[in-house]
Structure 1
Amino acid sequence: MTAPLYLRIRNDLEGRIRSGELPPGSRLPTEAELRDQYGVSRATAQRVLHELAQAGLVERHRRKGTFVTDGVRQENLLRFVNLRLSGPEIPGRHEVYSAAVVPAADVTPPVRELSGDTPVVYLIRRKFDTEDVPIGLEYHTVPFALAPRLLDEDLAHLTMISYFRREGVPIARSRMYLDPVLLDEHAAGLLECEPGTPVLRKRRLTWLEDGDLAESVAILIRPGVMELYLEQDVSAD
């Protein structure tokens, strides 16, 4: 399935940044220039630049423009639990490693909020940089009753929060956990690391309005590829 146009534009710009074609300090096209160059809407151009900024690849300055940053990839942790934002949990190319309906007892990491015999959609994806080096490993667990047609979706580009919104699933709140863990042999192989390597695991639990669990997401981040931070708008409304 062809990737959405905004994603192709974003990946093109990200590739040019990581290859050095657009070195630190380079000014990216404006929203108007992107619209003219690619024939897209203003909303699409805004989304491209916004997601590059969310990935820490560029900085946007009002009235000045958008510029390539100088440093490692960055990610705002608050984005991971913001139910109002769209876009992937970690921006960039995803590869579906496996996708199946299994009992909750068979998923990793365990989801204590679900009984072991609950049927769930279990999705494992790898995240790559532009040089095809794996930088993250994602585990998604969703009760099958909430998403019986989920496996029919374009799983490489799927964003669960957006999917829930589109399907009318009444999600209400999310919580994030940060856990230091050691890579087991299977995860280490997928991330091309040594078993036992210490990594940071981000976990997000999302609940429905009635308090039942809607999803569990766990992301293992390869060491040395990403700088995590917390930032929020504290300006007056």
Structure 2
Amino acid sequence: MSGTAKTDGNGGIALYQRIRNDLEGRILSGEWPPGYRVPFEHELMDTYSCSRMTVNKVLSGLAAAGLVERRRRAGSFVSRPKVHSAVLQIPDLKAEVENRGEQYSYKLLDRQKRGALKRDKARLEIRVGSPVLALRCRHDADEQPFALEERLLNLSAVPEALKQNFSVIPPSTWLVDHVPWTEAEHRISACNADKSLAADLQIEAGAACLVIERRTWRNGEPITSVRLVHPGALYDLVARFTPAG
């Protein structure tokens, strides 16, 4: 009974926070990826020498924060990252193309591991020379270019990306499935296609294009920066919301 008093009495709050910080850190660091089964309550009780009430409070708090999903009789599992945005969600280009009734395809155009350049410093907020993986990809709808993707991955944050050749699975799909993030930023603009971009998108030079730039972080550490360019005639943005947001 003395052990229970230490965890659920005056020291209960401190112990709860220590366990919460420990589990949350494992999730946000990627040590426990999306879909990972969190240890059962009795396992956590043994690990931290605490009561079931304390463990239940920790798991309930993580579930309320959207970090874990509790399933009856099955246990608790690390949640897939969720997007909360009043304007724009992180796009699933495959789903968007298929929802239009068209066939989706994807092609990796270029893959380079290199040191970050001066222009990369502004995009990814990392030091010049830091290791990055630079990717160029094209997403097609019915064999016509739908989007050109230019992406930088911070290899200090996601070194496991080097093991992926991304010739089959788009980098965005792999990131959502394997790399948790805590903050995202979107920037929407427009441009006129220069000769190089026009050739990649199979449009006329000077044609209007929609540009979506996105950056993600995990606990303040940059993960990726991506620039998606769509032919203006093929893409629009729609948001529906209430006066209260």
TM-score tier after normalising by the smaller chain length: 0.5 to 0.7
- The answer to whether structure 1 residue 212 and structure 2 residue 221 are counterparts is yes
Q: Which residue of structure 2 aligns with residue 35 of structure 1?
A: none
Pairs aligned (count): 151
Q: Which residue of structure 1 aligns with residue 188 of structure 2?
A: 178
Q: Which residue of structure 2 aligns with residue 70 of structure 1?
A: none
Of 188, 203, 207, which residue of structure 1 is paired with 2:213? 203
Q: Which residue of structure 2 aligns with residue 100 of structure 1?
A: 112
217 and 178 in structure 1: CA distance in 2 versus 1, 3 angstrom threshold: same
CA offsets, 1:176-232, max 9 Å, x none? 1001122232222110122332211001110111x1211101100012112321236
187 and 178 in structure 1: CA distance in 2 versus 1, 3 angstrom threshold: same
Q: 1:194 is paired with a residue of what secondary structure?
A: coil
CA drift of 1:77 comes to 6.2
Q: Tell which structure's C-alpha radius of gyration is larger.
A: 2
Give me the whole-angstrom Cα distance separating, in 1, the residues matched to 2:223 and 2:208: 29
Q: Which residue of structure 1 aligns with residue 157 of structure 2?
A: 146
Q: Normalization by structure 1: what TM-score? A: 0.54
Give me the whole-angstrom Cα distance separating, in 2, the residues matched to 1:164 and 1:201: 21
78 and 89 in structure 1: CA distance in 2 versus 1, 3 angstrom threshold: farther
- The answer to whether structure 1 residue 127 and structure 2 residue 136 are counterparts is no
Q: Could you tell me which runs of 5 or more consecutive residues in structure 2 were left unpaired when the two chains were aligned.
A: 1-85, 98-103
For residue 181 of structure 2, what is the amino acid of its counterpart?
Answer: I
Contact 1:164–1:170 at 8 Å: present in 2 too?
yes
Give 4+ residue runs of structure 1 displaced > 6 Å after superposition.
106-109
Q: Normalization by structure 2: what TM-score? A: 0.52
Q: Which residue of structure 1 aligns with residue 128 of structure 2?
A: 116
Q: Which residue of structure 2 aligns with residue 51 of structure 1?
A: none
Q: 2:129 is paired with a residue of what secondary structure?
A: coil
For residue 156 of structure 2, what is the amino acid of its counterpart?
Answer: A
Write the mapping of 1:214-233 to structure 2, written as runs, cut at 5 A: 214-231=223-240
Q: 1:231 is paired with a residue of what secondary structure?
A: coil
Give me the whole-angstrom Cα distance separating, in 1, the residues matched to 2:214 and 2:180: 17
Q: Could you tell me which runs of 5 or more consecutive residues in structure 1 were left unpaired when the two chains were aligned.
A: 1-75
CA offsets, 1:130-167, max 9 Å, x none? 2x11111011111122232324325132343653652x
Contact 1:101–1:121 at 8 Å: present in 2 too?
yes
CA offsets, 1:89-130, max 9 Å, x none? 865321100111123227789616223322211111101112
- Aligned-residue Cα RMSD (Å) equals 3.2
Q: 2:123 is paired with a residue of what secondary structure?
A: coil
> What is the percentage of aligned positions where both structures have the same residue?
18
